Amino acid sequence: MLRWLWGCVLPAAACQNNDDYLRYGILFEDLDHNGDGVVDILELKEGLKNWSSSFGQNSEMEILQAGDKNADSGLDFEEFVRYLQDHEKKMKLAFNSLDRNSDGMIEASEVIAAVKSLGIDISEVQANKILKSIDADGTMTIDWDEWRDYFLLHPASNINEIIRFWKRSTAVDIGESIAIPDEFTEQEKQSGDWWKRLVAAGIASAVARTCTAPFDRLKVMMQVQSLKTRRMKLISGFEQMVKEGGILSLWRGNGVNVFKIAPETAIKIGAYEQYKKWLSFDDTRIGILQRFISGSLAGATAQTCIYPMEVLKTRLAVATTGEYSGITDCGKKLLKHGGVRTFFKGYLPNMLGIVPYAGLDLAVYELLKNYWLDHYAENSVDPGIMILLGCSTLSHTCGQLASFPLNLIRTRMQAEALAEKETTPMIQLIREIYKKEGKKGFFRGITPNIIKLLPAVIIGCVAYEKVKPYFGLK
């Protein structure tokens, strides 16, 4: 309704001498439902819902905090006008930064160039959809009036935040991902929302890992025991584990897997930001290649720091009932038997697996998402949660297939941490697997690993949505 009022009433008002106040007055009266001369948080929220598609998290709160100078939890007309005038100045700067040829119009090529400056590649079709969502006169270009009217109630303060509004991604780690961390806006960093999102994502990740832990343990058991005479199958594997240690044995090793979420995430995010600064040179522009390199290096850094926990997880997963009394007991026995070096067995294949996993995961995700936007999205530039879930699941699957042989070799070397013999060198282990089991031997345990991906992604995303309100997030 507000967009309709803007299109029908404001052109006539433009002829008035006090054009700005007429425009602001019409908008203020439409937002002030009870006519008390103050727009409160509920009225602002309802107005944003009618104005356009969702601009982001807590938009009404951000506008209220920016404009409410007397801290009375509402905007009177004077505060409302002052906020809009300041905001229009910021939107004018954003418009000018997009309008690179200074012709007063934003075209598809300029949108593509602006989005690429944040390391995101989009096609001309997607750029045209962005233009179409803002374009009011059907010219497939955006002039200042169209830009101002569309973003008038968008709390973004610069072009980078507007570009991130056109981008959407997930932050939930389902247990195997070495994906590139998402970037936080300056607003999120200043408000503290960034750590709330990380904690919410960490809790959701813990839920997803715990729910799918039986499949994860079965994968490890199949990888380690595949050289034995009796090879594990999917159903018989679960039966053997339950028979050996009861139902709870299906979650053996999950405690370490959940515990390492916090340090791994913190190190990965911190390292990613630092590598970005080193690779961007001017500290502002970073392309897709730099993002990939930064993400891969951040994943390697995080994995190096928490790798001893990976060894503990594997040893607990393959242990028999009563072999260890807990995580601490397992760590003591490993240290006593082989020293500190024991906690880094399988480190080399683990590092080698990061690049193909992170590369394929990112590339396939962006490819699938962009393909859907190009061929099936109509006027929307947001794929929606179901499409993102599908893209995420398929990209994780491709990453798993590419890195699984190295994952299997790493697991075998970790499992030998308490064996009487010396750990088999990586090259020799590869030859033995190929000689005894052939090519299929490198993918032993892939079935439960792939089966768990879709439920892990779904559970993680649902848990994330359920946890966010407890941290004041939407």
Please write the tens of the pLDDT for every residue from 314-339.
999 988 888 898 899 999 998 988 88
* pLDDT given at position 169: 41
Alpha-carbon distance of 224 to 231, in angstroms, equals 10
3 state DSSP class of 117: coil
In a domain, 62, yes or no: yes
Task: With beta carbons less than 8 A apart as the criterion, state whether 55 and 47 touch.
Answer: no
Place of tokens 């405690």: 255
For 6-25, write each residue's pLDDT tens digit.
444 444 334 433 566 777 78
User: Per-residue pLDDT tens for 182-219?
Assistant: 555 555 566 667 778 788 888 988 999 999 999 999 99
Q: How far is it, in rounded angstroms, from Cα 149 to Cα 281?
A: 36
Do residues 232 and 247 touch, judged by C-beta distance below 8 A?
no
Whether residues 90 and 39 share a domain: the answer is yes
Q: How many separate domains does the chain show? A: 2
Output the DSSP codes for 347-386: HHHHHHTHHHHHHHHHHHHHHHHHHHHHHT-SS-S---HH
Tell me whether residue 346 is in a domain. Answer: yes
Most confident of 282-291, 373-382, 420-429, 439-448: 439-448
Residues 203 and 96 in one domain: no
Angle between helices 19-31 and 41-51 (to 10 degrees): 110
Query: What is the structure's pLDDT at 1?
Result: 44
Q: Is residue 181 part of a domain?
A: no
Task: Find the domain containing 87 and state its range.
Answer: 2-165
Q: pLDDT at position 256, please?
A: 92
Task: Tell me if 461 is assigned to some domain.
Answer: yes
Q: Specify whether 159 is located in the same domain as 107.
A: yes
Read off the CATH number of the domain in which 82 is found: 1.10.238.10
Question: Residue 288: what pLDDT?
Answer: 62
Whether 267 and 395 map to the same domain: the answer is yes
- Looking at the fold, whether 91 and 239 belong to one and the same domain comes out as no
Residue 170 covered by a domain: no
